[in-house]
Each structure stands twice: as C-alpha cells, then as structure tokens.
C-alpha cells in the first residue's frame, strides 16, 4: 500500500460511511505493518490457528530458536522431521500443515513471489490448495503480506465483533449484513477492516 492509495482510501471511507469516519478520527493514522517475508507469514499464521496468542508466540519462539542459525524458510522447514516439529510443540495436524507448505514451496508448486501478480481470488485459490490454509488465512496474507486494498475478511471474529459494536447491532452480523455494510467501504475494505480491529482497542 502506497501513501497515495492510503490517503485515497481514508477520503473515501470518511465520505462514504459516517461510522467509519468517527473510527478513523479516534484511531488516528493508518499504520498497517506489512509482513515482507511471505513464507514466514504463512508459517506463523498456521502456528497461530486455534490457540491463544501467548501459546502461539511461545511456539514461534521455540521454532526460531531450534532453527538457529538458519532462518525460517521452505528449505529449513522441509529438512525437519515430524518428530522434531512435535518436540517443538506443534500438534500432529499443524506438523502436517507446515511440512505440506514447505514441500509445495520448495518444489516450486507454490511460488509465493508470483502471487503478487495474481488477482485476489486467484491468490486465495492457490493458497487454499495447501493443507491447513483456508480462506481466512489467505485473506490475511492478501492484506498483511501483499498489501491488497479491498479485502473484506467476513469470517474474522474481530471484524464481526467490531461491526456489531460500531453499527449498534444486537448480535454478530450475518454474512449478508456484514457484506452490505462493507459495500460502502469498497474498494478499500482492507483499510476499513484494519480500523475495525483498531476499534476493539477503544476505551469509552
């Protein structure tokens, strides 16, 4: 995301959605941190699935430590045995996921550098071929690694909670309601989603 795009996004969101205008005012500047190492970003996403933030951080730390002085890469992960990954703290399921990702990237079956040239849906289609990578993980990759501007991760619980809170809903939005609200954000739904996450930090 370049500065010119971000400013265009903020102008659009302020104009198109009064609720988002107030969120932007309270949250301040847009400051999404890009994850430049694409393979590592996917590894960390897999490790974080269905466990607490603290537990995920601990496993990430153990993996980084175990690989030293090597970095997290497709080659370094592919060289590990399932037993080694289990000792680090990965479940059998996540061990399979990580090794499948590493094998596909190492073999060239999944070319992460080439994904930047593909439309959003084709990126999602390519990533979800990997065991353990679903649509949500692929959408996070689009936003945080590729910097795509118009991704609406409806299945993200944080985004749904933020929409409920911000738009005065009595319950979490259905898919139809979520997309109807997000229609006003297009073509900058990623930026609006980031502000939804930020809104969860507000103290009234």
Q: What is the pLDDT of residues 136-175, one digit of tens each?
A: 999 999 999 999 999 999 999 999 999 999 999 999 999 9
- What is the structure's pLDDT at 72? 96
Beta carbons of 138 and 128 less than 8 angstroms apart = yes
- Tell me how far apart the alpha carbons of residues 19 and 2 are, in angstroms, rounded to a whole number: 24
Q: Residue 194: inside a domain, yes or no?
A: yes
Same-domain status, 132 and 171:
no
Report the chain's terminal Cα–Cα distance, integer Å. 30
Domain of 86 in residue numbering reads as 38-144
Q: How many domains does the structure of the chain reveal?
A: 2
- Tell me how far apart the alpha carbons of residues 87 and 172 are, in angstroms, rounded to a whole number: 39
- What is the structure's pLDDT at 203? 62
- What is the structure's pLDDT at 70? 95
Q: Residue 70: inside a domain, yes or no?
A: yes
Tell me the per-residue pLDDT of 87-139, one tens digit each, with 9 for 90 and over: 999 999 999 999 999 999 999 999 999 999 999 999 999 999 999 999 999 99
- From the CB of residue 107, how many other CB atoms can be counted at a distance below 10 Å? 10
Same-domain status, 16 and 111:
no
Beta carbons of 13 and 20 less than 8 angstroms apart = yes
Same-domain status, 103 and 139:
yes
Same-domain status, 168 and 83:
no
> Helices (H), strands (E): how many in the chain?
12, 0
Of 41, 2, 6, which Cα lies nearest the Cα of 145? 41
Share of the chain above pLDDT 90, in %: 90
- Between these two residues, 80 and 1, which has the higher pLDDT value? 80
- From the CB of residue 114, how many other CB atoms can be counted at a distance below 10 Å? 11
- Tell me how far apart the alpha carbons of residues 186 and 148 are, in angstroms, rounded to a whole number: 12
- What is the structure's pLDDT at 204? 58
Q: What is the mean pLDDT of the chain?
A: 95
Is residue 196 scored above 80 in pLDDT? yes
Cα-atom radius of gyration of the chain, to the nearest Å? Answer: 18
Of 33, 63, 45, which Cα lies nearest the Cα of 134? 45
Is residue 1 scored above 80 in pLDDT? no
- What is the structure's pLDDT at 12? 98
Which of 29-38, 43-52, 172-181 reaches the highest mean pLDDT? 172-181
């Amino acid at each position: 995301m370049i500065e010119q795009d971000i400013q265009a996004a903020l102008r659009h969101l302020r104009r198109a959605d009064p609720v988002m205008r107030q969120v932007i005012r309270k949250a301040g500047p847009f400051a999404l941190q890009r994850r430049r190492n694409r393979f590592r970003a996917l590894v960390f996403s897999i490790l974080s699935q269905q466990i607490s933030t603290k537990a995920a951080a601990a496993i990430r730390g153990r993996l980084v430590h175990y690989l030293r002085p090597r970095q997290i890469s497709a080659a370094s992960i592919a060289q590990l045995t399932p037993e080694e990954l289990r000792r680090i703290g990965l479940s059998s399921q996540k061990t399979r996921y990580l090794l499948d990702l590493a094998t596909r990237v190492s073999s060239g079956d999944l070319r992460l550098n080439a994904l930047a040239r593909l439309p959003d849906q084709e990126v999602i289609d390519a990533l979800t071929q990997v065991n353990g990578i679903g649509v949500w993980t692929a959408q996070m990759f689009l936003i945080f690694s590729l910097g795509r501007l118009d991704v609406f991760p409806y299945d993200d619980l944080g985004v749904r909670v933020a929409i409920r809170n911000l738009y005065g809903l009595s319950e979490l939005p259905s898919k139809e309601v979520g997309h109807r609200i997000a229609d006003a954000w297009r073509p900058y739904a990623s930026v609006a989603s980031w502000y939804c996450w930020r809104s969860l930090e507000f103290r009234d």
